[in-house]
């Protein structure tokens, strides 16, 4: 397996306190209390072990922040809202990590770049009024979940909606023209990447045409934007290509 060349460490679960920086107590109580497979939204099922899995996923991202790593986790997080699950996401992993960096590492400015093919509506929602965290997203639009359209922005929220069919060239120029300048101007001490791979040409859910080399280039560009860097897996639904795409992203992030 390609990933064997990288050092793999197991994560620890995030604590309730760390998770409650982004989610309501009532929602986390509800998730913890699930005893049989339950639909939390039309796409999102939870069972009796989901709460533990969600805290482990979020905790792995905290570990990735500490080590400058890539959190290979499921479930993903970027659709999760403060008070509810959405789109396969239970706990907003990247958001918990950003608040961890602020509260426990003392960082003043954190940027999140989200290149999952879907808009990271949960992350945007959590940080909409938080000027210490910049959120920048490249995504297919119009598309699920419907948010992140033209003009949906504020000082620390940058949305770059792209029409279906975009490939490496469109993604890289959108990154260079919109995302990189905004992140540079914000001067983050840490950049977190919500790395979804469902914009890949072979992905069964997305309608984009990004290649493995395109993800490596996006990763390379992220590396230059902040002194500290960590990434977390979001979407990516072709199990045959996903390991290779992660490998290419890891190469770009670590070169
Ligand atoms: Zn996605």
**With contact defined as beta carbons under 8 Å apart, do 133 and 156 qualify?**
yes
- Provide mean pLDDT across the span 195-216: 98
pLDDT at 1 over 60: no
Q: Mean pLDDT of all residues in the chain?
A: 97
- Provide mean pLDDT across the span 37-45: 97
Q: How many residues does the chain have?
A: 255
C-alpha 196 to ligand 1 mean position (Å)? 6
C-alpha 114 to ligand 1 mean position (Å)? 10
Share of the chain above pLDDT 70, in %: 99
C-alpha 3 to ligand 1 mean position (Å)? 22
3 state SS of 42: coil
Distance of alpha carbon 166 from alpha carbon 254, whole angstroms: 26
Instruction: Please give the pLDDT value at position 6.
Output: 79
C-alpha 87 to ligand 1 mean position (Å)? 8
C-alpha 183 to ligand 1 mean position (Å)? 22
pLDDT at 177 over 60: yes
C-alpha 162 to ligand 1 mean position (Å)? 14
C-alpha 239 to ligand 1 mean position (Å)? 14
Give 96-131 pLDDT, tens digit per residue: 999 999 999 999 999 999 999 999 999 999 999 999
**With contact defined as beta carbons under 8 Å apart, do 32 and 51 qualify?**
yes
The catalytic residues are 79
The DSSP letter of residue 24 is -
The DSSP letter of residue 171 is H
Closest CA relative to residue 193, chosen from 164, 168, 215, 166: 215
Q: How far is CA 16 from CA 55, 56, 171, in A?
A: 8, 11, 37
Instruction: Please give the pLDDT value at position 3.
Output: 64
- Provide mean pLDDT across the span 155-184: 98
pLDDT at 30 over 60: yes
Please give the full DSSP string across 122-158, using - where no structure is assigned: HHHHHHTT-TTEEEEEEEESS-TT----TT--BTTEE
pLDDT at 2 over 70: no
Distance of alpha carbon 182 from alpha carbon 153, whole angstroms: 12
Instruction: Please give the pLDDT value at position 5.
Output: 73
Share of the chain above pLDDT 90, in %: 96
Distance of alpha carbon 126 from alpha carbon 81, whole angstroms: 7
CA atoms within 13 A on the CB side of 191: 24
């Amino acid at each position: 397996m390609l990933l064997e060349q990288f050092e793999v460490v197991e994560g620890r679960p995030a604590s309730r306190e760390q998770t409650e920086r982004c989610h309501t107590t009532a929602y986390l109580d509800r998730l913890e209390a699930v005893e049989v497979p339950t639909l939390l939204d039309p796409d999102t099922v939870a069972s009796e072990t989901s709460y533990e899995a969600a805290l482990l996923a979020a905790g792995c991202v905290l570990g990735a922040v500490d080590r400058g790593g890539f959190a290979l986790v499921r479930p993903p997080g970027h659709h999760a809202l403060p008070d509810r699950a959405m789109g396969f996401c239970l706990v907003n992993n990247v958001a918990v990590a950003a608040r961890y960096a602020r509260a426990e590492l003392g960082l003043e400015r954190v940027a999140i770049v989200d290149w999952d093919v879907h808009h990271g509506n949960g992350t945007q929602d959590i940080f909409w009024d938080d000027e210490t965290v910049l959120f920048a997203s490249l995504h297919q639009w119009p598309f699920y979940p419907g948010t992140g359209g033209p003009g949906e922005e504020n000082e620390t929220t940058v949305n770059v909606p792209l029409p279906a069919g975009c490939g490496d060239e469109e993604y890289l120029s959108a990154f260079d023209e919109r995302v990189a300048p905004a992140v540079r101007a914000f001067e983050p001490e840490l950049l977190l990447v919500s790395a979804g791979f469902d914009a890949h040409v072979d992905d069964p859910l997305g309608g984009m045409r990004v290649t493995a080399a395109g993800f490596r280039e996006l990763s390379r560009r992220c590396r230059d934007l902040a002194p500290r860097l960590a990434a977390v897996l979001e979407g990516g639904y072709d199990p045959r290509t996903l390991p290779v795409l992660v490998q290419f992203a890891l190469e770009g992030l670590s070169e």
